[in-house]
Structure 1
């Protein structure tokens, strides 16, 4: 007689899928999509309850001696949403807008993102409420080290592996790694990813998220029978993700007709010289003053008549207010949460093919996984090997989501959530509940 792997039953309370208390609340947006996928999967009520709650939410006070001699106390968060499939994985961001709701939503997103590309990771996220642009290098280092010390009980290659995020970078990861290593009394390179290559970072990591966006966009064009050559693309956000995606799409034969950053954007119907734009940003730090196109606002860029739109900047830029004006045939979500839950149905009605964030920008965490593997094995791969293995995973994941989308006649976002939730739920069923 087989073992019954089902969890004890519980009552499922599902919010009205058409009601959004706050369209731009990231946790509500994530949970509304989770609920839709869970209902379609007919998810076991007990597992539904488990997956609706984060495993750990940590809030720490971070006293820092500022350069002036004044002591300031900052607030930091770290959320481990689910670790059933492996160590928690997720970035650390430094920003004034960091709050526990946002960090929890992003940790949940990381859970589904790792599962949709079938990595042996769970999801986490961290953040510190601060203005890093107004802090010196010394102040940022002291902040990072004290924050690391505050959450060190959950960190580790087998428990929680941070990475860079908004306003953090390789240098911040080096500080996290060094602080953790000093406490462990030996060097532990695999405690973080996104490190400098000299410290065990992976080749190809910086370009990985943008490269992943390019790969899945190529798959979408193929699926829709659209030619790559001459396909018009608008990219909102010209940071690491947007600039790399634009550059690689241009190399495939696409025509990049609009780009933007926080200072505004530029459009050129004959095509923007992406390499020139990247060089301009390297010299001037922003796109402001770039002479390669006519000015266009960030809001206007979203509604341009293009084949592909890549929102690679901020959350909540496509909402129920502007979704009806979107004219792109494909949206590739390079940013986390660029589309609100309230906009999903509008985009569906317009027949827009959306490659959801948990799939589209999973290239970054995939190569972070490669970095973790290389650090633990002490053997490092060539950039060509990294890129080849990244393409294999992104193509396979796109096709898995597409197959589920067709099977259940749902959009790609719902299919991606269904695939990831089913993978996490399967592990919970197999592991059972420790009592």
Structure 2
């Protein structure tokens, strides 16, 4: 398996998982396979030192990354995460999945991703601003509205995007609202952006269920991760007649076979910071989440959650990947062998980047759409993309994940072939 000298991935590590996915799609690329090695190598990887003065006067150093996997089809696009477990290999994989996701939905972007290895909960708001501004200054040499456009990801939000946009603008001497997406509305943000990823998960899930003849009314849904993606997807499923029977987040795992009252659960999370202790459900051991029977399972937390061992225990009709890379290659194989349909992350959670694209377009034109217009355009784009992937899956008799990679890699490599090599 081709590899880069500065990482040593295992099969189920993030980068190893991505490389395995490229290996699986190569036989379907035809003459474009001669270019496939470009997909196994990020175009650019930047490692930066992020020093700040803490509130107590001491100096702290954090390691930051920005990886541009591909710029063949347009500017890099992908989020920035703040997490104590961030590594270069993880960011490389996430940037590569952004390449695939943007191409699968046919957005005019390449793939990029960023991150800082830190626990934001250990920093004050002032320290968090310092880290963000210093990191933005360090990666400012490779980002820009026409070069690479960051966005929120794990533990980052609209406020952090506002600091990034302001820092970049101050350093370039002109307000550049299009340098990031996921911004607050007064700074050029788009209506519907906060809900977009979760909404996209619901819309794609509804389309998959319709094709599989799984009724939405009364469907049992289990959700891992109850942040922006999982909570909004769960709320939309419940509003359309489904029952949310199990939810897991960092505070615990809760179960109610009759379905939870979503508004009460959301109010509880707003008060306490997590689902743990919710009075409208029973608490169960975290690992028992994978034994809950459901019609739809939504892993919307971090990558690598559905291992082969857990895949053997899962009892569901559809796995709807709200997170990036939540299923390992071995887990994927077990689910396929058991006949469980996996709707891959690159289409299931593409709502966020699609509305980020809308935000970027609106910033350039300084003309903004209503939320209804946003949702109509979002639904049309991602359902059309899903139909193409579904049809490709049936045509080649391959999984939806491999089909999504066939569609995306074909688009990226066609563009690579037509652009040629310079010099």
Query: What range describes the TM-score normalised by the shorter chain of this pair?
Result: over 0.9
Paired residue for 1:9? none
Unaligned residue ranges in structure 1 (runs of 5+): 1-12
Question: Are the equivalent residues in 1 in contact too, given 2:256–2:280 (CA < 8 A)?
Answer: yes
Question: Are the equivalent residues in 2 in contact too, given 1:303–1:328 (CA < 8 A)?
Answer: no
TM-score (norm 2): 0.97
Deviates more, 1:333-342 or 1:259-268: 259-268
Give the deviation of 1:256 after TM superposition.
Answer: 1.1
How do 1:135-284 residues align onto structure 2 when only pairs under 5 Å count? 135-284=123-272
Paired residue for 1:116? 104
Question: Are the equivalent residues in 2 in contact too, given 1:236–1:302 (CA < 8 A)?
Answer: no
The 3 A distance-change label for structure 1 pair 389 and 345 is same
SS of 1:127's equivalent in the other structure is strand
Question: Are the equivalent residues in 1 in contact too, given 2:11–2:20 (CA < 8 A)?
Answer: no
Paired residue for 2:57? 69
Deviates more, 1:332-341 or 1:258-267: 258-267
TM-score (norm 1): 0.94
Q: Partners of 2:9 and 2:58 in 1: how far apart?
A: 41
Q: Deviations over 1:282-309 (max 9, x none)?
A: 1111112111111123322222111110
Paired residue for 1:382? 370
SS of 1:310's equivalent in the other structure is strand
Paired residue for 2:292? 304
Q: Partners of 1:140 and 1:322 in 2: how far apart?
A: 36
Give the deviation of 1:27 after TM superposition.
Answer: 0.1
Question: Are the equivalent residues in 1 in contact too, given 2:32–2:410 (CA < 8 A)?
Answer: no
1:429 matches 2:403: no
Paired residue for 1:95? 83
User: Which aligned runs of 4 or more in structure 1 are off by greater than 4 angstroms?
Assistant: none
Q: Partners of 2:27 and 2:123 in 1: how far apart?
A: 46
Q: Partners of 1:50 and 1:321 in 2: how far apart?
A: 33
What RMSD in Å do the two structures reach over aligned CA positions? 1.4
Give the deviation of 1:104 after TM superposition.
Answer: 0.3
SS of 1:81's equivalent in the other structure is strand
Deviates more, 1:250-259 or 1:236-245: 250-259
Deviates more, 1:37-46 or 1:358-367: 37-46
SS of 2:260's equivalent in the other structure is coil
SS of 2:372's equivalent in the other structure is helix
1:34 matches 2:34: no
SS of 1:309's equivalent in the other structure is strand
How do 1:266-345 residues align onto structure 2 when only pairs under 5 Å count? 266-345=254-333
Question: Are the equivalent residues in 1 in contact too, given 2:9–2:15 (CA < 8 A)?
Answer: no
Give the deviation of 1:34 after TM superposition.
Answer: 1.1
